Amino acid sequence: MSDQLRLWVVLIEPRTPGNIGTAARAIKNFGLSGLVLVDPPTAATAGEARAFAGQAREDVLPAAETASLDAVVDRFHTIGTTATLPVRGDDHVRTPATTPTALCDSLASTVGDVAVVFGRERDGLTNAELALMDEVCTIPADPTYPVLNLGQAVTVMAYALRPLLADAPHARGPPTPLADPAATQQLYTYLQQLVELVEPKEHKRAKTGRMLRRIFGRAHLTAGEVATLTGVIRRSIAAVRD
């Protein structure tokens, strides 16, 4: 893994080619690594998308990858981006949510592949999709109309995170490589298995698992930390079963 942070934009089921092109342009404007499309429409990177992409039609747009959401979760540290909505404090699907500014601070010394994930134009990310994310971020907006156009949201996030990709992105501390996302997903699997064993109330098990995922997601775990935690949890599972 090279000693840098690589930021990617992931669009889930985008249906407006202009938004895809705008996202590609924002990626090129602010120096992000690339675009990944989950279940895009036919010819997603042609026509209107090219018209909105500007110079990104030459590189970012034609290089856009397609992947399943599961593949994205296995490959990247994921940050689900949502509108600012009133939620309960104990709702671990959508909270706690960070802001782009706070996210920039927390990732300042991190290296690895991070995906900023956006949902559909009409209704964003589903709760099931958000439950798969390592972190959740909202763009502060006026509460009377907090919902941004998809292309605008990508541009705002790319601009906000641009300082992480400057010439000296790790000036605030030594680089901290993120754990391999697939290994982190395995940790979450074991965590959920442990919760299933020790939580007697069935209706609390999924909620507790999501809460633990959010806690560890915000910690930006290293490979060594994930390996140690996985070992501890596996031994805990074995002890409980015995």
Domain containing 131 — which CATH number? 3.40.1280.10
pTM of the shown model:
0.84
Instruction: Please check whether residue 35 is in contact with residue 8, taking contact to mean a CB–CB distance below 8 angstroms.
Output: yes
* Strand 5-12 with 77-82, pairing: unpaired
Query: Which pLDDT tens digit goes with each residue over 154-212?
Result: 999 999 999 998 654 444 566 788 999 999 999 999 999 999 999 999 889 988 988 89
Residue 111 lies in a domain: yes
Q: Mean of the per-residue pLDDT values for the chain?
A: 90
User: Residues 47, 120: one domain?
Assistant: yes
User: Residues 84, 196: one domain?
Assistant: no
Between CA 25 and CA 140 the distance in angstroms is 22
Total domain count, the chain:
2
Query: Over 80: is that where the pLDDT of 222 sits?
Result: yes
User: Residues 117, 187: one domain?
Assistant: no
DSSP β-bridge partners for residue 80: 117, 136
User: Residues 23, 71: one domain?
Assistant: yes
DSSP β-bridge partners for residue 5: 112
The pLDDT of residue 168 is 46
